[in-house]
Structure 1
Amino acid sequence: MRVLVLGAGYAGLTLARDLERRLPAAVELTVVNDSPFHLVQHEVHRAIRRPSVADAIEVPLDEALDRAEIVVDRVTDIDRTSRRVHLADSDPLDYDYCAVCLGATTAYYDIPGLESHAIPLKSLDDAAAIRARYFDACDDGGRVVVGGAGLSGIQVAGELATLSAEEDAHTDIVLVEQLDTVAPSFPEAFQRAVRDELLDRGVEIRTETTIESVSASTVETDTGDLEYELLVWAGGLAGQDAMGADRPTVRADLRLDRRTYVVGDAARAMDANGEPVPASASAAIREAKIVGENIAEQVAHEQAGDIGDFPPRPRQYRFDVPGWIVSVGDGAVAQVGPSIFCGSAAKAMKATVGAGHLTSVGAISKAAELVEEELNS
């Protein structure tokens, strides 16, 4: 019997470590990832201003996992009918149970010129490209446009504004959002605090502004054109090619079918209360723990040979996180319950969140590195 985990982001690595503990030794556990590293995605923006953070936020999979087979390859197709996963450079892998944890890619919404002229932020290579472009074109002034004021766009704008201040470059940082507020999916008190932190760092915020097309030097919007030297796009999520470029909607049991789950940003999940689950690391990690329990129980039932018995009823995911946190350059905003924190308290919380995740995947020394980087940023 084989269990496949596709992807080793927050959801995939959490699930794989959980299954190493839960599954019988006779069950094959295979993790497929397009890199030999787990990346702490919510800290990638730090590498724009502090490239040294890169080492702290990459964890070798062979150090994070004990018994799982690791296949470094790209998933190209998932055939649920035959229960077979096709890879770019390796033989196909058959499965008895599979968890799709491939995350999402960047959505460009068919906006003319956007994909060819903008830099996304999905990897350390993207962070390096943003930094290089900034120093090539913006370190003595000019304008940076950041599209999308979700958490990723907020963090990019904050890093670049702080970098500009550190370099005394007087670069204009403009954050563009189609909706009427920054952090539009979050509580109002959080939105207001984030907006204040951005304004304090000199970020110009243009809400209710839709990007209509992009050329090599101009962002055309419905409220006027913006000349730019650097354009960063953080405007949305799209499905991976292996999922037919789709992010399927799944119910609270997170199943595509009886033997195939989808976890994290690879899907649009509805929780046990019928509410949509926001795309976030904390949600992905919690979803993974539910799926780990469900797969382990299904495997145990099947191995017991009780064919006539009803299979175990899968547990359902209920969205519940203690709060939210986002970096804004050399500061941060955190919400815990109804309370909002900024300044040193929020920075300490942000450092604790990243370090806590690294510790949870066994990377204790990297957790210490990240705390030092965060608190000195």
Structure 2
Amino acid sequence: MRVLVLGAGYAGLTLARTLERRLPDAVELTIVNDSPYHLVQHEVHRAIRHPDVADVIEVPLDEALTRAEVVVDRVTDIDRTNQRVHLAEPGTLGYDYCAVCLGATTAYYDIPGLESHAIPLKSLDDAAAIHERYFEACSDGGTVVVGGAGLSGIQVAGELAALRRESDAHTNIVLVEQMNTVAPTFPEPFQRAVRDELLDCGVEIRTETTVESVTASTIETDTGTLEYEMLVWAGGIAGQEAMESNRPTVRADLRLDERTYVVGDAARAVDADGKPVPASAAAAIREARVVAENIAEQVAFERDGDPGDFPPRPQPYRFEVPGWIVSVGDSAVAQVGPSIFCGSAAKAMKATVGAGHLTSVGAISKAVDLVEEELNA
């Protein structure tokens, strides 16, 4: 019997580590990832300003896992009918149970010129490209536009503002958002605090502005034309190629079928209370723990259960996250319950969250380094 975990982001690595403890040794556990590393995605923006942080936020999978087989390859297709996964390198892997944790890619919404002229932020290579482009084109002035004022766009704008200050440049940094506020899917007190921090950093905020087309030097919006030297796009997410570029909607059991789960940003999940689950690391990690327990129970029933018994009913996922945290350059904003924290208190919370995740995947020395990086930012 084999259990496949596709992807080693927050959901995939959490799920695989939990299954290592819960599955019998006789059950094969295989994790497929396009890199031999787990990436702490919510810290990638730090590499825009400090490229050396890459060493802290990449965790080798062979160090994070104890018995799972690691296959470094790209998933190209998932054949649920025949329970086989196709890889970029010629070959397939069969499975009895599969958890799709492939995350999401950047959504460009078919906006003319956008994909060819914008830099996304999904990887350390993207962060390096933003860093290089900034010093090539923007360190002596000009305009950097960040598209999308969700958490990723907020963190990119804040980091670029801090880089501007450190390089003593005169760059304009403009954050563009289609909705009427920054962090539009979050509570109003959080939105207001984030907006204040961005303005304190010297970021120009243009809400209710829709990008309609992009050329090498201009952005056409419904409110006018923006000239720019660099465009970073953080305006939304889409499904991976292996999922036919879709993020399927799954109910609280997070299943596509009886043997295939979709976890984290790869799906649009609706939780046990009927609420949509936001794409976030916190949700992905918690979803993964529920799915791991459900797969372990199904495997145990299939191996040892009475054929006359009903199979176990999967436990539903309920979205419960204590709060939200976002970096804004050298500062941060956190909401815990109804309380809002900014500055050093929020930075300490951000450091604790990141270090807690690294500790949970066995990277204790990297956790210490990340605390130093966050608190000294």
TM-score interval for Structure 1 and Structure 2 normalised by the shorter chain: over 0.9
Matches of 2:124 and 2:245 in 1, distance apart? Answer: 23
Matches of 2:66 and 2:91 in 1, distance apart? Answer: 23
Report SS of the residue matched to 1:120: coil
Structure 1 residue 111: deviation in Å? 0.1
What corresponds to 2:9 in structure 1? 9
Q: Which amino acid aligns with 2:76?
A: T
Q: Which amino acid aligns with 1:276?
A: P
Matches of 1:347 and 1:53 in 2, distance apart? Answer: 17
Q: Which amino acid aligns with 1:320?
A: E
Matches of 2:208 and 2:306 in 1, distance apart? Answer: 58
What corresponds to 2:70 in structure 1? 70
Counterparts of 1:219-234 in structure 2, within 5 Å, are 219-234=219-234
1:18-43 alpha-carbon deviations (Å, 9 max, x no partner): 00000000000000000000000000
1:201-257 alpha-carbon deviations (Å, 9 max, x no partner): 000000000000000000100001000000000000100010011000000000000
Report SS of the residue matched to 1:333: strand
Counterparts of 1:345-356 in structure 2, within 5 Å, are 345-356=345-356
What corresponds to 2:218 in structure 1? 218
Matches of 2:208 and 2:91 in 1, distance apart? Answer: 48
1:126-183 alpha-carbon deviations (Å, 9 max, x no partner): 0000000000000011100000000000000000011101111011000000000000
Q: Does 1:313 align with 2:313?
A: yes
Matches of 1:17 and 1:108 in 2, distance apart? Answer: 34
Q: How many positions carry a matched residue from both structures?
A: 377
What corresponds to 2:121 in structure 1? 121
Matches of 2:363 and 2:330 in 1, distance apart? Answer: 25
What corresponds to 1:55 in structure 2? 55
Structure 1 residue 265: deviation in Å? 0.1
Q: Which amino acid aligns with 1:260?
A: T
CA RMSD, Structure 1 to Structure 2 (Å)? 0.5
Structure 1 residue 308: deviation in Å? 1.8
Unpaired stretches in structure 1, ≥5 consecutive residues: none
Matches of 1:330 and 1:162 in 2, distance apart? Answer: 7
Matches of 2:229 and 2:171 in 1, distance apart? Answer: 10
Structure 1 residue 327: deviation in Å? 0.1
Q: Does 1:271 align with 2:292?
A: no
Structure 1 residue 52: deviation in Å? 1.3
The answer to whether the Cα contact below 8 Å between 1:75 and 1:85 also exists between their aligned partners in 2 is: yes
Report SS of the residue matched to 2:344: helix
Matches of 1:260 and 1:233 in 2, distance apart? Answer: 32
Report SS of the residue matched to 2:91: coil
Structure 1 residue 46: deviation in Å? 0.2
The answer to whether the Cα contact below 8 Å between 1:3 and 1:97 also exists between their aligned partners in 2 is: yes
Report SS of the residue matched to 1:293: helix
The answer to whether the Cα contact below 8 Å between 1:158 and 1:327 also exists between their aligned partners in 2 is: yes
Q: Which amino acid aligns with 2:191?
A: Q
Matches of 2:165 and 2:143 in 1, distance apart? Answer: 14
Report SS of the residue matched to 1:102: coil
Q: Which amino acid aligns with 2:162?
A: T
Structure 1 residue 190: deviation in Å? 0.1
Matches of 2:217 and 2:302 in 1, distance apart? Answer: 60
Report SS of the residue matched to 1:212: strand
Matches of 1:75 and 1:106 in 2, distance apart? Answer: 17
Matches of 2:217 and 2:305 in 1, distance apart? Answer: 65
Q: Which amino acid aligns with 1:137?
A: A
Counterparts of 1:220-259 in structure 2, within 5 Å, are 220-259=220-259
Structure 1 residue 71: deviation in Å? 0.2
Matches of 1:171 and 1:305 in 2, distance apart? Answer: 65
Q: Which amino acid aligns with 1:365?
A: S
Matches of 1:181 and 1:41 in 2, distance apart? Answer: 24
Q: Does 1:141 align with 2:133?
A: no
Q: Does 1:44 align with 2:83?
A: no
Q: Does 1:174 align with 2:169?
A: no
What corresponds to 2:304 in structure 1? 304
1:95-139 alpha-carbon deviations (Å, 9 max, x no partner): 000000000000000000000000000000000000000000000
Structure 1 residue 90: deviation in Å? 4.3
Report SS of the residue matched to 2:310: coil
Q: Which amino acid aligns with 2:367?
A: A
Q: Which moved more, 1:233-242 or 1:298-307?
A: 298-307
Matches of 1:242 and 1:166 in 2, distance apart? Answer: 41
What corresponds to 1:81 in structure 2? 81
The answer to whether the Cα contact below 8 Å between 1:73 and 1:90 also exists between their aligned partners in 2 is: no
Matches of 1:90 and 1:245 in 2, distance apart? Answer: 21
Structure 1 residue 305: deviation in Å? 4.3
Q: Which amino acid aligns with 2:47?
A: A
Matches of 2:305 and 2:91 in 1, distance apart? Answer: 30
Counterparts of 1:187-202 in structure 2, within 5 Å, are 187-202=187-202
Report SS of the residue matched to 1:345: helix
Q: Which amino acid aligns with 1:218?
A: T
Q: Which amino acid aligns with 2:360?
A: S
Structure 1 residue 296: deviation in Å? 0.2
Q: Does 1:332 align with 2:339?
A: no
Matches of 2:305 and 2:20 in 1, distance apart? Answer: 22
